[in-house]
With several copies, the nearest count.
Chain A
């Protein structure tokens, strides 16, 4: 195994799948000559040519609509949104056409939309969002949020091979900051199977994406401070999500924190909390606590952005409150 950045793992996964399967092609704004705003597809056009690495006009519905059509014909398109925020421009297409197609007509749509998401670098209200919760409410879409380089690659390959529309949220703040071992083999990471990022016995934190590392720091802090043992469950995929793993962990810890970077009201954390409150009622010794961003747009200025994105200290406070319950 080699040590790779999260970004490199995504790029490698995509390139390898394009080599393996000539039905796979890439479409997006500036993905060709420029190699993508974050350089995930750097060098791809030289290798695969301009018709497998297409620079599209600035038109997200044209891009995702093209994925729907091309996948209907048996190709395996992978679209790139320049930032996840711009997927709002393809909301109607994704929720109206793509999500409902198989249920209505039985036609499979094997395509992936890659969405560089998340904040942490003063991207402001339009370059920092985590739109996964909005889509998670729409039946018919699969939603993937890898946290580690290994998963980033394995889940991307799985997404490309899945016969359904998959939204793949890659967190920009992990791109170059997070490195890890990535198998050289052709492997996939199955959907709907959470990963125990850290085992523990006192409190469970369920999270995904960049917040896995925030949870980890918080867990280390409380472990060192007073020996509280935190279990971190990285969901890896939001739709489907691994409720069994979550309930099993809560059965051991009796305490649950749900942590996400997206805003609180109506975020996917509500679904997890509601499910555990419903199906794990007898397991809980304390109320489920959600730690999430406040209900505002993502502010630009550093003090505000810091107040927006859940911080290690916020999670530590939640753990302490919970342990004291």
Chain B
């Protein structure tokens, strides 16, 4: 039985205004998506150059979903983005050079080389690093929300999962707990139609993952994850509801994973027709067309300007990251445990 609400598409400036986005915001969304894709593209080049140890993952196709949620969050909200969510980090203001340093395992990466890939976050921005085990941070997001509830703060936690990750234990325990306690938390599911090679129909048997929200006592919404304005609108609505004491929402953002699971995977198992269809819905192209059509100030020249700025920023970031040192082998034992003095730091707010 389908119980989730299907969010309408956005197509006009009025839709944008309804989502609380002014002209500056609208242009900023574009820049953030470009920056997101640019970081991942350059990361991929670094990987091919042998500068990124291990593997490499991107969120191509998920830029609107990630940037949209990241932009909708309020300053004091706290989030746990995942492997396709570079846009969340970017939208919250994460410095690109430190992301490159993270990729390369350098001391200026957010984990100083202890962890790799997008297992990172700038905690000062209210984000926390993912772990591989999916979706292990969703119960943690509930704990964050519980802290907000206990202290009576008007803050919201956001927990992400992929479509595949919703099959796991942690997801269920977290959503149930949040529903029972009406915690101020929003659950975002990036449904990119695959979990590695496994398609949706081998992962779950309901129409939409968001249909499950009813069983946890809150609302589910299905949103086109390539429609950044709709993502912002629905995220803001969900955050407002949570902030106002209305409890959780499950936001299912539907996209297609436009590259392999990781760099070694050519995703031959994705039907070509499906891939082609979603190529037509590239979130950045789609949004550029929207801006060109509706935003008078956004002309070819502005577009070139934004692109140029992003390019320059990334070139600079790469230089700075490459200058960062590799960690010292002697530091291996450092920081297994926290010292008492480390408490009451900003991220403990």
Contacts and interface: CB of A to CB of B under 8 A. Distances in A.
Direct contact between A and B in the complex (CB less than 8 angstroms)?
A: yes
Contacts of B146: 54, 66, 69-70
A109 B342 CA distance: 10
B34 interface: no
A306 to B, nearest CB: 7
B228 interface: no
A303 B336 contact: no
Nearest to A34: B197
Contacts of A67: 143
Contact of B327 (A60, A164, A301): A301
B195 to A, nearest CB: 5
A108 B349 contact: no
Given A300-B111, A301-B114, A62 B136 contact: no
Contacts of B343: 74, 108, 110, 163
B132 to A, nearest CB: 3
B340 A163 contact: yes
Interface string B287-323: 0000000000000000000000000000000000000
Contacts of B145: 69
Nearest to B203: A57
A300 B117 CA distance: 9
Contacts of B173: 57, 59, 61-62, 65
Contacts of A100: 131
A58 B329 contact: no
Interface string A50-91: 011011111111101111111111110100001101101100
A300 B53 contact: yes
What is the size category of the interface that chain A forms with chain B? 35 or more
A89 B169 contact: yes
A136 to B, nearest CB: 14
Interface stretch (B84-92, B121-129, B275-283): B121-129
Given A69-B147, A105-B123, A74 B349 contact: yes
Contact of A73 (B132, B269, B328, B349): B349
Contact of A56 (B117, B148, B157, B177): B177
A302 B328 CA distance: 10
Nearest to B153: A73
B12 interface: no
Interface string A121-137: 11111110000000000
A309 B202 CA distance: 38
Contact of B165 (A30, A33, A58, A77): A58
A248 interface: no
B131 A58 contact: no
B115 interface: yes
B115 A300 contact: yes
A103 B335 contact: yes
B248 to A, nearest CB: 13
B49 interface: no
Given A57-B202, A68-B140, A69-B146, A127 B132 contact: yes
Contacts of B168: 58-60, 89
Contacts of A69: 139-147, 157
Nearest to B120: A105
Nearest to B196: A30
A208 interface: no
Most interface-central of A69, A294, A297 (chain B CB within 10 A): A69
Among all A-B residue pairs, the 10 with the closest Cβ atoms: A69-B143, A65-B139, A301-B113, A301-B105, A126-B132, A122-B53, A108-B338, A34-B197, A73-B147, A74-B348
12 contacts: A51-B150, A54-B146, A57-B203, A61-B174, A65-B170, A126-B131, A162-B340, A300-B113, A300-B114, A300-B119, A301-B105, A307-B332
Interface of B: 53-55, 78, 105-106, 110-111, 113-117, 119, 121, 123, 128-129, 131-134, 136-151, 157, 164-165, 167-170, 173-174, 176-177, 180-181, 195-198, 202-204, 269, 326-333, 335-340, 342-345, 347-349
Interface of A: 25, 29-30, 33-34, 37, 51-52, 54-62, 64-75, 77, 82-83, 85-86, 88-89, 92-93, 96-97, 100, 102-110, 121-127, 139-140, 142, 161-164, 294-297, 299-304, 306-308
